[in-house]
Amino acid sequence: MVGGMYMYEDYMDNLFDRRPMPTVAPKVGDIFLYTVNRGDNVYAIARRFNTRVDYIKNMNSLDDKMMIYPGQQLLVPVLFEKMPPMKPQPLPQPQPQPRQSYELYF
């Protein structure tokens, strides 16, 4: 039974392993294995890696509830390049209009 306990602890250690993501960012067209962390959901993963929720769902045979759990490994396809944040364009300054004057008679 002691051996079983060690095996269980090793399993739990591996299940919640928080290894850092690879330093090389995945490229468009790549499919990589992602280990789900606590607090992750399919929508956040899709947004983080520039892909679509339905692709992750289909590649990993998830049902409509899309329940995932920490330690689960998902295949994630990268579909789009991450766009750099857009800098707001300055609004054009309105040109001053010539004033018209009116005379009022009472």
What is the Rg, in whole angstroms, of the alpha carbon atoms belonging to the chain? 27
Q: What percent of the chain has pLDDT above 90?
A: 33
CA atoms within 13 A on the CB side of 101: 1
CA 69/CA 39 separation, integer angstroms: 9
**Considering its fold, how many domains does the chain have in total?**
1
Q: Is the pTM of this model over 0.85?
A: no
Q: Look up the domain containing 55 and give its range.
A: 25-78
Q: Is 41 part of any domain?
A: yes
Q: Is 7 part of any domain?
A: no
33-49 burial by CB neighbour count: b if 16+ within 10 A, else e? ebbbeeebebeebbeeb
Q: Is 34 part of any domain?
A: yes
Q: Is 29 part of any domain?
A: yes
Q: Is 35 part of any domain?
A: yes
Q: How far is CA 10 from CA 4, 6, 52, 72, in A?
A: 10, 6, 34, 16
pLDDT digits (tens, 9 = 90+) for 32-71: 899 999 999 999 999 888 889 999 999 999 999 999 999 9
CATH classification at residue 67: 3.10.350.10
23-27: average pLDDT: 60
Which pLDDT band holds residue 5 (cuts at 50, 70, 90)? very low
Q: Is 87 part of any domain?
A: no
CA atoms within 13 A on the CB side of 58: 6
Q: Is 47 part of any domain?
A: yes
